Structure 1
Amino acid sequence: MTASQDTAAPASPSTLDAGEVAQFAKLAEEWWDETGPFRPLHRLNPTRLAYIRDRLCAQFDRDPKDPPCLEGLSVLDIGCGGGLISEPLTRLGASVTGIDPGLETIAAAKAHAAGAGLEIGYEATTAEAVAEQGRRFDAVLLLEVVEHVPDVPAFLARLAPLVADGGVMILSTLNRTLKSYALAIVGAEYVLRWVPAGTHQWDRFVTPEELKAAVAGAGLQSTDLTGMTYDPLADDWRLSHDTDVNYFMTATRPAC
C-alpha cells in the first residue's frame, strides 16, 4: 500500500477541497514520524490536548487531574489524520470517532491504534456524511481544518447538528494576518521547511471575528478564544492571549 495510490471518500464539493485531501493523503504513512512532515503537529500536540481536556472538563464538570476524566464522553475528531489527537483523548477515557476523507490516512491511523492497543472508531468519510446520518456527539473537534475549507460558514452550518445538546465544538486554526503569513507560510513552509510548500493558502486563513460569526450563524455560541504561540528557544507551544497566528475557539450548544 502506497500513499500515492490513495483515494478519498465522496464529499460535498462545496465544503471539501479535493486538492487538500490529496496533499495530506500523500503523507499518510508519515503521520507518526516525529521528525517528519508532521513534526509541527507533534510539537503542538501537548498544548492542543491540554486545551481540549480542560475545556471538556469545564463543560462537563470533570476533574482534569483525574486520569479517565473524559470517560463516557463521545468525541468526533474531524480531519483526524493519523490519529495524533484521537489516541491521547482515548487514553483519557473518551469514546472517540475519528474521520478523514483519505482512505490511506485512515488505514495508517487504524494500524497505529491497533499497535497501541487502542479502540478508536476510525472511518474514511466526511463530516457532512456523518451529519446526514443524524449522529450527535458531546464534543466535535475541528483542529487545523477550517483553513483548508473553501466556504467556512457553509461548512460549519452543515456540521453544527453533530453537536449534542449541552455539547461543544472546539476549533483550532490560523488567523489571517501579516504575521501569520510571515510565520506560518514564509517561515514554516519555505525557510524552516516544517511543512511542505503549499500546505496552506493564506487567503483561506480565518480571523477570530469571521469564525465567531460563522459559529453563530451555525446556531452555536462562542464561549472561549485562546491563542497559541511558539517559543523557538524552548521549541515548545504555549497557550496565550496572542491570537495573531494560531488560536483555539470553543463554541457550545445550550442544553435543552
Structure 2
Amino acid sequence: MTNVDPQELAKFSDLAHKWWDPESEFRPLHEINPLRLDWIDQHAAIKGKAVVDVGCGGGILAESMARRGANVLGIDLADKSLKVAQLHAMEAGVANLDYRCVAAETLAAEQPAQYDVVTCMEMLEHVPDPASVIQACAAMAKPGGWLFFSTLNRNPKSFLFAVLGAEYLLKMLPKGTHEYARFIRPAELARCIREAHLDLVQFKGMEYNPLTRHYWLSGDTSVNYMVACRKPVSAA
C-alpha cells in the first residue's frame, strides 16, 4: 500500500497550475526557498552532487538546487504538479534535473545508497506514515550522505500561526492546507531519525514577520523548523 493520502494529492493537484506564480498560494514556498537552499548548500556543498528531492511538488527547491550545479531527481506522486515542474525546467533550460512519479519507498528499493543528498521539505506532515518516508530517505542516501527534512511543530503556537494565522487571517495559504494533528514535534522527528540509523546534526527554526513579509532562520523551532542529519559512513 502506497504511503499517500488521496485527499492531499487532490488538494495539491488542484493548485498545480499556480506552483510558479510567486503571488499565488505558493508564495510562502517561494519566499522561504532562498533560506532553505542556502542552509542545505552550507551543510552539503551540493554542486556536482547527486540529489533526490522527495515530495518535490512543482519543483521550486529541486530546480534551485539544479541551478546551483547539483544533479537532481525530484519525485512526487502528484502527477499534475510534476508536469508543471517538468515544463518549467524545460522552458528554463535546466538540464541537470529530472522528475519521476514514484513513491519514496519504491525508489529506495530501486536505488539504495545512490544519493549524496536527500531533501524532504514540507512533505512529512502530508503523509499517513512519515516514519516510513524517513526510513526510505535514509535507504536512498549514500554512507556519509546528507539528509534534510522540514515540517511543522505541534503545539498551540504553531496552530495559531500556521493554521489560524496563515490560512484564515492572513490568507497566505488555502484553508485546509494543513491538518494540525499531523504536525510533528521535534522530539518525534528526532526519534524517527534515530530509528532510521541517522545522525542528527542540527535543528533550525524558521520565523516570519507578517508586517514585513520577512523570513529568517533562528533557533526557535516552535512553528516551522528544519533538521539536518547524516548517514554514518559505516552504514551499509
Q: TM-score, normalised by structure 2?
A: 0.95
The reply to whether residue 227 of structure 1 matches residue 211 of structure 2 is no
Q: Is the 8 A contact 2:137 2:147 kept in 1?
A: no
- For residues 172-187 of structure 1, the aligned pairs below 5 Å read 172-187=150-165
- For residues 1-256 of structure 1, the aligned pairs below 5 Å read 12-13=1-2, 15-57=3-45, 70-119=46-95, 120-135=97-112, 136-256=114-234
Q: Structure 1: how far apart are the matches of 2:164 and 2:60?
A: 25
Give the residue type in structure 2 aligned to 1:203. Answer: A
Q: Is the 8 A contact 1:231 1:237 kept in 2?
A: yes
Q: Structure 2: how far apart are the matches of 1:246 and 1:158?
A: 23
Identity %: 40
Q: Is the 8 A contact 1:188 1:195 kept in 2?
A: yes
Give the residue type in structure 2 aligned to 1:49. Answer: L
Q: Write out per-residue CA displacement over residues 115-165 of structure 1, whole angstroms, 9 at most, x where no aligned residue.
A: 111021111111111112034211110100111122222332233201111
Q: Structure 1: how far apart are the matches of 2:191 and 2:227?
A: 12
Supply the RMSD in Å over aligned alpha carbons: 1.2
User: What SS does the aligned partner of 2:207 have?
Assistant: strand
Structure 1, unaligned runs of 5 or more: 1-11, 58-69
Q: Is the 8 A contact 2:104 2:133 kept in 1?
A: no
Q: Write out per-residue CA displacement over residues 156-195 of structure 1, whole angstroms, 9 at most, x where no aligned residue.
A: 2233201111001100110001110001000111111111
Structure 2, unaligned runs of 5 or more: none
Find runs of 4+ consecutive structure 1 residues off by over 4 angstroms. Answer: none
Q: Write out per-residue CA displacement over residues 28-79 of structure 1, whole angstroms, 9 at most, x where no aligned residue.
A: 111000111101111111111111111113xxxxxxxxxxxx3320110011
User: What SS does the aligned partner of 2:60 have?
Assistant: coil
Number of aligned pairs? 232
Give the residue type in structure 2 aligned to 1:31. Answer: W
Q: TM-score, normalised by structure 1?
A: 0.87
User: What SS does the aligned partner of 1:85 have?
Assistant: helix
User: What SS does the aligned partner of 1:230 have?
Assistant: strand
User: What SS does the aligned partner of 1:141 have?
Assistant: strand
Q: Is the 8 A contact 1:168 1:253 kept in 2?
A: yes
